[in-house]
Structure 1
């Protein structure tokens, strides 16, 4: 088999130079190649939103299919195929039948939702398969059910089962194999997704299962840089990251890598190589592996997200009263609400959550018997800014620099935290201060280096 697995991003299906480079690299390869394909983002979004709207009868199945077909046509127009593709036609027809069944019966379950959304990757893989065919590159289109990728029954957030999937290697044919990512099959034969935009994770799992030497990520939507180029135009590419650093950075950008990508790779120390595709070739930008490397200034990147909010449980002695946090975290777990972090004091418990879940979280807390909580406050116009890099706890000047950068430019810090790990310190600031804070923090750590 191939000595690597390639994850190819669905967003690249609208970029002909990238597709051209991809086909050229595959045609020149002398090895078998395993390519895991992620979803076209627009198709994924249409299905995620469409199925929810279909359940409440605000859209029809035909409307959803028309939207999908429009997105497919846009991708096909990038390379103008000379013929229609039977695989693509069948996938669209099967999706339409599923949606019509939901529309007419009202039948809906988590497993059915996963099955519907899996077509975002299935359709994307079909488009790539057609492009390769038009480019005279022969490939095999395989689905997780064909190769025995077995996962747990945790619909929407399943985990790959490696012992149960051990036959996968023997089921892969010779040649170039295209596999839709982000989902697997339960022991009962049902589709279960591995999380949102989780083709990276399934690619890493397949890398481990076939004993490949490396996982290659071709053409990331967001490269690993010292900061977001939209905020810091002169930010630089990061050449080396550890598994832990890459995982931490992934929480601040859904368009870089999936946070679980390193799980299957750690035990065998399998590296991840990130490439740009250009001029019909590829350029290595970042290597991710288990080798710890502390840079002279410790910090490797300044990152942020505005997709968070803070739920504050205020009241005299809430930090002292036992059981409050246990009640809240249990209720959140039962409602599938992910807690990103918790910061407490004697008069306030601050819970950092995803912004789209904050109102649901407030309603849950208002119904709990939290006798010491006198008020529940939401702060949702905030940004979480983090500095990431191994060696934080051994280099105490990092925190001093961080707070100097914001203090000198009169940036108010609403919350701060560090010490939970050796590789991250973070601040929560008002959204209006985001640009200034990121710029000044990046300057204080990197200006002398660049």
Structure 2
């Protein structure tokens, strides 16, 4: 029997119409389906914030459990679910772990990953209960029992394909199988998370190991469109993307897809099919494959992110003084601060970093007392806007059109960049100019 590997978002557990479509599809299919489930963001966030509070004087494990129960009860009420016995078992285990953190103060990365894995486990058991309520028999298989082996980089582990393949390839699965995503098991037997909401990376690994014809993503949070539809009414679905284009877009506002999703698929050239669930059917919106052809429409999307800040190291001669950038990047690496890009001039080094690391990065840099750096400043009120698509370097009019779109509308560009990749050109603008810039750039490329 053929097998379909699907990544299904836990956020859809609060969407009755989507669940109705899911139930209809699974009832009608004769194909085996493996659904890799991510966590609802509310449960994920509650656990993430809650375990940090447990080691403070304000810690309260009982309150945290009640809050998670409340989120689960909302979903159970929507679908008129009675008690799901399997949920009680997982809640008991979670409560024991939370109380252990509270009373011992143990907050190791390993223990944190173990606790956060419950967000996907709870979501998967909830979906199991919903399907059972609708007379659909499903099995639940956990990564730690199926042999999904990962590295010991807690919080950001990588899947070890070779070690995982033997056991996973030989698994006998039922017609409907549910698997919690986003974590695996280390060689030492510890749970390690693959990253924040990385269930699609897990699903891609299963698709590769089990030689699926494709990986299907059902009802992702942010569909692939020519722009964000909340800013551009005319934004349309992107029918085709390459692996590289899709990966580039994940770093911007397409947060529904994990940046590493294509890694396990590249060698076997397994396509990714992005579906919308509607009226009991699945509608193909975007196909992602390994081709790197420059299409007639070079620019595929106008993307953006607000999750950046610019750290500026100013001073006469910072561009001449050797070693400044090396000291800063080495310090950031040691403190797990991600650098997105670096743009230098003779009197300033501009480092683009994630916004949540900005204040910490500024303090660390200031404490270095670097020679030739007279001032360290931080600009957080900015947005990065990018045009994405293969063929930027072969089509010289692209950059001209990009800059004319913002220039004609008196939008000030703080920093611009292109040339590092044939895939993307970007502008950094004041956050107040973001929406206008996106709209005008979209007009230029998608008339």
TM exceeds 0.5? yes
Report deviation, 1:145: 0.7
The C-alpha deviation readout for 1:363-421, integer Å capped at 9, x for no partner, is 11112252121110101000000000100000000000000000001000000000110
Q: Distance in 2 between matches of 1:143 and 1:225?
A: 34
- Are 1:277 and 2:277 matched, yes or no? yes
8 Å CA contact retained: 1:151, 1:186: yes
> Match of 1:258?
258
> Match of 1:136?
135
With the length of structure 1 as denominator, give the TM-score of the two structures. 0.97
Report deviation, 1:296: 2.8
How do residues 93-132 of structure 1 correspond to structure 2 at under 5 angstroms?
A: 93-132=92-131
Report deviation, 1:253: 2.3
Q: Any idea what SS the aligned residue of 1:34 has?
A: strand
Q: Distance in 1 between matches of 2:67 and 2:14?
A: 16
Q: Any idea what SS the aligned residue of 1:363 has?
A: helix
Q: Distance in 2 between matches of 1:437 and 1:335?
A: 34
> Match of 1:160?
159
Report deviation, 1:326: 1.3
Q: Distance in 2 between matches of 1:170 and 1:367?
A: 54
Q: Distance in 1 between matches of 2:14 and 2:284?
A: 22
Q: Distance in 2 between matches of 1:383 and 1:290?
A: 30
Q: Distance in 2 between matches of 1:266 and 1:374?
A: 47
How do residues 169-318 of structure 1 correspond to structure 2 at under 5 angstroms?
A: 169-253=169-253, 255-318=255-318
The C-alpha deviation readout for 1:212-268, integer Å capped at 9, x for no partner, is 111100001111000000110110100000111111111112532011111111111
Report deviation, 1:151: 0.1
Q: Distance in 2 between matches of 1:388 and 1:3?
A: 33
> Match of 2:7?
7
8 Å CA contact retained: 2:223, 2:254: no
Q: Distance in 2 between matches of 1:367 and 1:41?
A: 36
- Are 1:388 and 2:388 matched, yes or no? yes
Tell me which moved more, 167-176 or 384-393.
167-176
Alignment: residue pair count: 446
Q: Distance in 1 between matches of 2:251 and 2:356?
A: 15
The C-alpha deviation readout for 1:302-323, integer Å capped at 9, x for no partner, is 0111111000111122223221
Q: Any idea what SS the aligned residue of 1:376 has?
A: strand
8 Å CA contact retained: 1:144, 1:179: yes
- Are 1:149 and 2:158 matched, yes or no? no
8 Å CA contact retained: 1:159, 1:194: yes
Q: Any idea what SS the aligned residue of 1:30 has?
A: coil
Provide the alpha-carbon RMSD of the alignment.
1.2
Q: Distance in 2 between matches of 1:103 and 1:254?
A: 36
> Match of 2:324?
324
Q: Any idea what SS the aligned residue of 2:287 has?
A: strand
Report deviation, 1:2: 4.1
8 Å CA contact retained: 2:5, 2:35: yes
Q: Distance in 2 between matches of 1:279 and 1:377?
A: 52
The C-alpha deviation readout for 1:8-55, integer Å capped at 9, x for no partner, is 001100111111111121122212211100001100000111111112
Tell me which moved more, 47-56 or 388-397.
47-56
Q: Distance in 2 between matches of 1:224 and 1:271?
A: 15
> Match of 2:442?
442
Q: Distance in 1 between matches of 2:5 and 2:297?
A: 34
Tell me which moved more, 175-184 or 360-369.
360-369
The C-alpha deviation readout for 1:276-320, integer Å capped at 9, x for no partner, is 011111000000011224333411100111111000111122223
Q: Distance in 2 between matches of 1:108 and 1:7?
A: 30
Moved segments of 4+, more than 6 Å: none
Q: Distance in 1 between matches of 2:189 and 2:148?
A: 10
Q: Any idea what SS the aligned residue of 1:154 has?
A: coil
8 Å CA contact retained: 1:147, 1:172: no
8 Å CA contact retained: 2:224, 2:254: no
Q: Distance in 2 between matches of 1:261 and 1:55?
A: 34
Tell me which moved more, 313-322 or 218-227.
313-322
Q: Distance in 2 between matches of 1:397 and 1:322?
A: 36
Q: Distance in 1 between matches of 2:254 and 2:54?
A: 26
8 Å CA contact retained: 1:11, 1:39: yes
- Are 1:427 and 2:427 matched, yes or no? yes
With the length of structure 2 as denominator, give the TM-score of the two structures. 0.98
> Match of 1:407?
407
C-alpha spacing 1:173/1:44, structure 2 compared with 1 (3 Å):
same
> Match of 2:35?
35
Tell me which moved more, 207-216 or 168-177.
168-177
How do residues 32-71 of structure 1 correspond to structure 2 at under 5 angstroms?
A: 32-71=32-71
Unpaired stretches in structure 1, ≥5 consecutive residues:
none
